[in-house]
Structure 1
């Protein structure tokens, strides 16, 4: 089954949340963290199930990516991050560890 297509970040987030990706992940020190669950995941402890890239309508440099992530314990959540010229180096390092395709 092909991954759905979304026109906006908000569409993607809302649909993925409906499909069970409820946790908000952030990147900290090369790990995914969810402070609400006191959860810290090393790259080998989770899988990216799907991802969706978005380019700004007026500025192609305004780029975001939404990752649908599942931990090996079954915790499902989202990471929304910039990519391209505005991505944070820490995000780039983590994505290289995941070997995710980059723009």
Structure 2
């Protein structure tokens, strides 16, 4: 059985993911997820952890934190605003992120 962790804040989720080896800082671009040494497309990564924050007590905490692993062995964290994706980002990447968020 998989253990699911819930964290009080976005920062605590990020800190725990870092301790689990998710060391890269991922960012969304038009057709890929990028990091300091490269990028990968929608078919080249899996989402292993998702933490969703509504920001009810703190509007700055309205975010989704993703633990992502590329098929090339890179592990990192992607933080997005809830449902706030730039229009330029690939619809396939957005759909993959949203589906995984709803599954958790």
Q: Same-fold call, TM > 0.5?
A: yes
> Deviation per CA, 1:35-86, whole angstroms, max 9, x where unpaired?
x21x1110100100010001213467962000000010111000000014xx
**Counterparts in 2 of 1:6 and 1:58: CA distance versus 1, 3 Å:** closer
1:95 Cα deviation after fit: 2.3
How much has 1:3 moved relative to structure 2? 1.9
Runs of 4+ in 1 over 4 A off after TM superposition: 59-62
Helix, strand or coil: the match of 1:69?
strand
Name the structure 2 match of 1:6.
7
SS at match of 2:18: helix
TM-score by structure 2 length?
0.81
The structure richer in strand per residue is 1
* Correspondence 1:88 to 2:89: no
- In structure 1, distance between residues paired with 2:51 and 2:4: 9
1:1-103 matches, cutoff 5 A:
1-34=2-35, 36-37=36-37, 39-58=38-57, 63-84=62-83, 87-90=84-87, 93=91, 94-98=93-97, 99-102=99-102
Q: Structure 1-normalised TM-score?
A: 0.81
Cα RMSD (Å) of the superposition?
2.3
Consecutive unaligned residues in structure 2, runs of 5 or more: none
| Count of residues in correspondence between the two structures | 98
Deviates more, 1:18-27 or 1:58-67: 58-67
